[in-house]
């Protein structure tokens, strides 16, 4: 095992405050219920994969929970649409029984009355719904397969019925919104969202799919949009607008290698929610020799991965998550 002193210092500082041992598994996991999706979104990496994998089973989900005893929160979503997993609601209920906070991200196309009722009964804590454009044609072009009428009536129904759940709109700030961000925010207001998260960075998924980030705004365009959003929110002060943090930097490094992890539907342990294709990189599999999660989290491969960060370098697939440094490629 590689003993990087900086890592232990980092862990001790956080876990010591919580009274937990330094070897503790993460307090948060992203867990992928499925890689299947009913849409073929242009900004997503899944439509470009030729990877197949069964949905996460209830037994595998229980195994993950049992092997991470300190979990405080999970995001029950990965690369596919989580509501396609038939055991999704059971998984939420199991986690909630352990008092684990559960969030999910959905493409918003499967919000039938029954699914909304099941979400409420599962006691899920937080739901983020992808809502990238108010114009049906532009949205269908961004997210092929989407039916705008049922999508918009589903999100309105969710906002009407799920008052106990923290529901927010999650919107990619693409070039398509450059001219008419105000109309988009008006649409989200009509849909009754109380919180809107705007995401300026369109990921290229670790550099593997550069074309997905083609629709990102330039620095100047983003600056102008931020001003207009500020003006809009001054007129609509019942709505919270959050700009998602853009890039990591040396001063504000990526926390994933040290605090969080991502588990695929076929139980590969991945470094984060960007690098999720195990055939490109993975840190081990929970099915291999029936491994416990702690055996992977505290394994040499994970320490080597962390060492790259701690030694001031970056793995290739992390480069596009960091703001470019002047003078460096």
Q: Is residue 27 within 8 Å of residue 259, measured between CB atoms?
A: yes
Residue 2: CB atoms within 10 Å: 12
Quote the least distance from Cβ 317 to ligand SF4, whole Å: 5
Q: Which two tokens stand for residue 82?
A: 């989580």
Quote the least distance from Cβ 260 to ligand SF4, whole Å: 9
Quote the least distance from Cβ 61 to ligand SF4, whole Å: 23
Residue 299 and residue 316: Cα distance in Å, rounded?
Answer: 21
Runs of H (alpha helix) within 133-218 = 136-142, 148-161, 181-190
Q: Is the Cβ of residue 111 or residue 318 nearer to ligand SF4 in the bound state?
A: 318
Quote the least distance from Cβ 309 to ligand SF4, whole Å: 8
Q: Is the Cβ of residue 134 or residue 256 nearer to ligand SF4 in the bound state?
A: 256
Note the residues at the interface with ligand SF4 (CB under 6 A).
206, 248, 254, 256-257, 271-272, 274-275, 317-318, 321
Runs of H (alpha helix) within the chain = 5-18, 58-66, 88-97, 113-122, 136-142, 148-161, 181-190, 219-235, 256-259, 293-297, 300-310
Q: Is the Cβ of residue 78 or residue 257 nearer to ligand SF4 in the bound state?
A: 257
Q: Is the Cβ of residue 94 or residue 314 nearer to ligand SF4 in the bound state?
A: 314
Q: Is the Cβ of residue 66 or residue 252 nearer to ligand SF4 in the bound state?
A: 252
Burial of residue 31 (CB within 10 Å: 0-12, 13-18, 19+) is buried
Quote the least distance from Cβ 244 to ligand SF4, whole Å: 13
Quote the least distance from Cβ 328 to ligand SF4, whole Å: 16
Residue 291 and residue 196: Cα distance in Å, rounded?
Answer: 40
Q: Is the Cβ of residue 188 or residue 321 nearer to ligand SF4 in the bound state?
A: 321
C-alpha closest to that of 90 among 127, 54, 65, 53: 65
């Amino acid at each position: 095992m590689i003993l990087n002193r900086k890592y232990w210092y980092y862990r001790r500082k956080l876990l010591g405050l919580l009274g937990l041992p330094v070897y503790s598994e993460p307090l948060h996991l992203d867990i992928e219920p499925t890689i299947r999706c009913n849409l073929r979104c242009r900004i997503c990496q899944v439509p470009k994969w030729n990877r197949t994998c069964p949905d996460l089973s209830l037994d595998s989900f229980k195994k993950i929970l049992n092997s991470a005893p300190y979990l405080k929160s999970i995001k029950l979503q990965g690369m596919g649409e989580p509501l396609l997993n038939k055991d999704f609601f059971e998984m939420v209920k199991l986690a909630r029984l352990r008092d684990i906070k559960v969030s999910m991200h959905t493409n918003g196309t499967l919000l039938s009355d029954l699914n909304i009722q099941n979400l409420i009964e599962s006691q899920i804590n937080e739901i983020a719904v992808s809502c990238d454009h108010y114009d049906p044609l532009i949205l269908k072009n961004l997210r092929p397969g989407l039916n705008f009428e049922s999508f918009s009536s589903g999100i309105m129904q969710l906002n009407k019925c799920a008052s106990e759940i923290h529901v927010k709109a999650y919107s990619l700030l693409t070039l398509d919104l450059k001219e008419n961000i105000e109309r988009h925010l008006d649409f989200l207001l009509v849909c009754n969202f109380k919180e809107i998260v705007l995401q300026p960075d369109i990921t290229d998924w670790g550099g593997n799919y550069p074309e997905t980030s083609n629709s990102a705004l330039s620095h100047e365009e983003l600056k102008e949009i931020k001003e207009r959003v500020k003006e809009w929110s001054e007129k609509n002060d019942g709505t919270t607008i959050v700009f998602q943090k853009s890039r990591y930097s040396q001063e504000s490094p990526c926390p994933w290698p040290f605090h969080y992890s991502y588990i695929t539907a076929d139980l590969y342990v991945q470094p984060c929610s960007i690098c999720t294709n195990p055939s490109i990189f993975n840190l081990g599999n929970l099915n291999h020799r029936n491994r416990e999660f702690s055996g992977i989290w505290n394994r040499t491969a994970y320490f080597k991965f962390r060492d790259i960060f701690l030694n001031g370098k970056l793995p290739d697939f992390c480069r596009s998550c960091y703001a470019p440094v002047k003078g460096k490629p």
